[in-house]
Amino acid sequence: MDFPLLRDIFVIFGLSIIILFICLKIKLPAIAGFLITGILAGPHCLGLIKAAHQVEIMSEIGVVLLLFTIGIEFSIKDLLQIRRSVLLGGSIQVVLTTLVFFIIALKTGQAVRQSLFIGFLMSLSSTAIVLKLLQERAEIDSPHGRTSVGILIFQDIAIVPMILLTPLLAGVEGNLTESILVLAVKAAGILLLVIISAKWLVPQILYQVTRTRNHELFLLSIIIICLAVAWLTYSIGLSLALGAFLAGLIVSESEYSHQALGSILPFRDVFISFFFVSIGMLLNVNFLFQNIGVIILLTLGVIIVKMITAGFAASLLGYPLRTAILVGCALSQAGEFSFVLSKVGLEYGLLATGKTNQFFLAVSVLTMLATPFVISLSHKAADIALKLPLPGKLKSGLRPARAVDEISLLDHLIVIGYGINGRNVTRAAQTAGIPYVIVEINPVTVRDERAKGESIFYGDATHEAVFKHAGIDNARVIVITIADAAATRKITSLARRLSPKIHLIARTRFLREMEALYELGADEVIPEEFETSVEIFTRVLTKYLIPKDEIEHFVHEVRADGYHMFRSLSKDATTCADIRHCLQDIEINAFRLGERSPIIGKTLADTEIRKKYGVTVLAIRRDDNTISNPGIDMEFSPGDILFVLGKPDQFTEVTDLFYNHT
């Protein structure tokens, strides 16, 4: 019996291992390796893949799982925070990109209907590739990352009306208004189901599942939730990917989201590789080499145009030039849904089956192949652009928040970024009475917080003028809390150059970034992944009854040594996993004093409990207060709960003192 799919999976993984190994050696991204694998194994090159349709189905599962994990790492609250990027940024990007390519296609001799369809095709970007790269670079939570995610979500929604409009562009009669109205009603129903599921239904289901403590049952439940919501959205005409993202949002609202994410990640990484391979399989290598010059020029043209339109959309949202460039670079490729839309266009004759379609496939695949390199170079491109003699308004954003008066504080704290970490720092500063000023790049956050009376102003801290405005010459401390690693390095270098004596604290996601930040002038670097580990291990040591001074000494050594000795602990430390292991035959029991107990109204000194019975009263619980190590003159009252240390046989003798006498 022949199993072509099994053979194809073996070929894909086997070839991927070889190509990925080579790519890693020459420092090429893994996504590029998978795309190259698809090109080589596809029908237009070596022809190693026979079950192409099955591979395509598995690739769709990969996209579903990718969007599901992105949704889990997000939350409904996060989605509401980027609603402006979704609705305004996404609509500007899609409309503007469609319009530009529509005009270009008209100028090259295409008919109006075909030109508009080409505009639709080119307005979409690759959700799978962009989100995977942003995840790998830990930039999902950065301003450009969140803006890119918002625009991509809008694109995934926009594909639906584009598909509905395609038959009308081809001249096929249909009731578009009725179709859109029905779709809107269905979408509203799905949205209502998502809210109900996130708040009540799914948390209860997962609670009952986790009570069984069965990993297989939990994993299957998570997968069913993902596939059920994805299938529901697909059945009403929306995309599978959007449904998977919504399913992730539902799970993210439960306390089991981290466990769900850890369970799904291995499957996601396997299946998403099929997606990249399937994209590479579309490229016709012979056609590419026969038209290499034209295709490269078209590819560069598409990348540049999409950079400009997406970057302009980010600028209109109020972001500065640097963020706009990073967003433009991230969204500069064709999208996977472009291929879905192209199939509909071929069916209705809006996309010619000959050279036009081949040019579209070749250019789209090459833009995807170029994306890892474009994103990796985007930060350098932004730095170069900022050095050009461009208008100040362009560099700071086309719609910046209203400026504030020059900061005139003395000995104050400057906080860069007003996310969770920034808010915690400023809250602590308020409590301690420390004057501070916040620099934030999100104009909406600045507007909202200024309205609440917060000392915050809009600005990109990679610019010298922003630091001057924040009063860096008179400040004592700078805390950098943003999630953008490249921007953190640039801000650190700039702050140290402007103020050699200021104390500079930088937050980073990963340990590997610490050395570079110290070299750039940071006084302290706080890596989140290890600070979390320190906090967890501190609580573990406390539970194991290690003395507090030894724990503090250990934590100090970890931080002072740059976290390199995190796994080391003095062998001389006094450890005690359980007090019963250190003090044999000793127990701690709790007793509630009855109203007619013989010791009511008496003190510890009167009862001589330790002298007569050999037990020790460690603490007394009275109402809502716990009195540790009570004094000898403290009187006992009815209802007191006594925590008593002693041996089992001693408790037998002393029990009558605590309970009612008849």
Stretch 338-348: mean pLDDT: 81
d(C-alpha 527, C-alpha 516), whole Å: 12
Model confidence, pTM: 0.66
Q: Residue 402 above 50 pLDDT? A: no
Stretch 233-260: mean pLDDT: 81
Stretch 338-343: mean pLDDT: 82
d(C-alpha 580, C-alpha 578), whole Å: 5
- The domain segmentation of the chain, as residue ranges, is 4-387, 413-522, 579-658
* Residue, of 238 and 120, whose pLDDT is higher: 120
CB atoms near residue 492 (< 10 Å): 27
CB atoms near residue 27 (< 10 Å): 7
Residue 442 phi, psi (nearest 5): -90, 110
Burial of 383 (0-12, 13-18, 19+ CB in 10 A): middle
Cα–Cα separations (whole angstroms), residue 275 to 36, 65, 281, 505? 12, 11, 10, 41
Tell me the per-residue pLDDT of 522-570, one tens digit each, with 9 for 90 and over: 988 887 766 666 667 677 767 666 666 677 777 776 666 655 554 344 4
* Cβ 70 vs Cβ 245: under 8 Å: yes
Across-strand partners of 619?
Answer: 628, 643
Tell me the per-residue pLDDT of 450-499, one tens digit each, with 9 for 90 and over: 888 888 888 888 888 888 888 888 888 999 988 888 889 989 999 999 99
d(C-alpha 418, C-alpha 448), whole Å: 12
Amino acid at 242: L
The residue among 270, 283, 312 whose CA lies nearest residue 96 is 312
HEC string of 336-384 equals HHHHHHHHHHHHCCCCCCCHHHHHHHHHHHHHHHHHHHHHHHHHHHHHH
Token reading at 254: 């439960």
8-state DSSP, 631: -
Give the mean pLDDT of the chain.
81
Token reading at 257: 């989201």
CB atoms near residue 47 (< 10 Å): 10
3-state helix, strand, coil in the chain (%, to 5): 65, 10, 25
CATH of domain 579-658: 3.30.70.1450
Burial of 525 (0-12, 13-18, 19+ CB in 10 A): buried
Token reading at 187: 């979408």
8-state DSSP, 600: B
Categorise residue 397: left if φ over 0, alpha if ψ from -120 to 50, beta otherwise. left
DSSP string across 16-30: HHHHHHHHHHTT--H
The pLDDT confidence band at residue 168, using thresholds 50, 70 and 90, is: confident
For the beta sheet containing 625-628, the strands, ordered from the edge strand earlier in sequence to the opposite edge, are 587-592, 641-646, 616-622, 625-628
pLDDT in the model for residue 174: 57
d(C-alpha 331, C-alpha 128), whole Å: 11
d(C-alpha 361, C-alpha 345), whole Å: 13
Specify the CATH number for 4-387; select among 3.20.20.20, 1.20.1530.20, 3.40.50.10260, 1.20.1090.10: 1.20.1530.20
CATH architecture of 413-522: 3-Layer(aba) Sandwich (3.40)
The residue among 250, 242, 245 whose CA lies nearest residue 199 is 250
The residue among 340, 308, 339 whose CA lies nearest residue 325 is 308
Cα–Cα separations (whole angstroms), residue 313 to 86, 87, 307, 445? 11, 11, 10, 18
Q: Which residue has the tokens 């937050």?
A: 507
Tell me the per-residue pLDDT of 255-287, one tens digit each, with 9 for 90 and over: 778 778 778 878 887 888 888 888 888 888 888
Cα–Cα separations (whole angstroms), residue 371 to 146, 304, 350, 375, 623? 18, 12, 27, 6, 64
How much of the chain, in percent, has pLDDT values that exceed 70? 87
Amino acid at 240: L
The residue among 417, 411, 461 whose CA lies nearest residue 436 is 411
The residue among 550, 496, 549 whose CA lies nearest residue 523 is 496
The pLDDT confidence band at residue 94, using thresholds 50, 70 and 90, is: very high
pLDDT in the model for residue 184: 74
Virtual torsion, Cα 372, 374, 377, 380, nearest 10 deg: -150
Tell me the per-residue pLDDT of 507-534, one tens digit each, with 9 for 90 and over: 887 777 788 888 898 988 887 766 666 6
d(C-alpha 242, C-alpha 152), whole Å: 10
d(C-alpha 118, C-alpha 338), whole Å: 10
pLDDT in the model for residue 404: 42
* Cβ 567 vs Cβ 554: under 8 Å: no
pLDDT in the model for residue 574: 46
Q: Which residue has the tokens 């109020």?
A: 318
* Buried-exposed string 67-94: b where 16+ CB fall within 10 A, e elsewhere: bbbbbbbbbbebbebbebbbebbbebbb
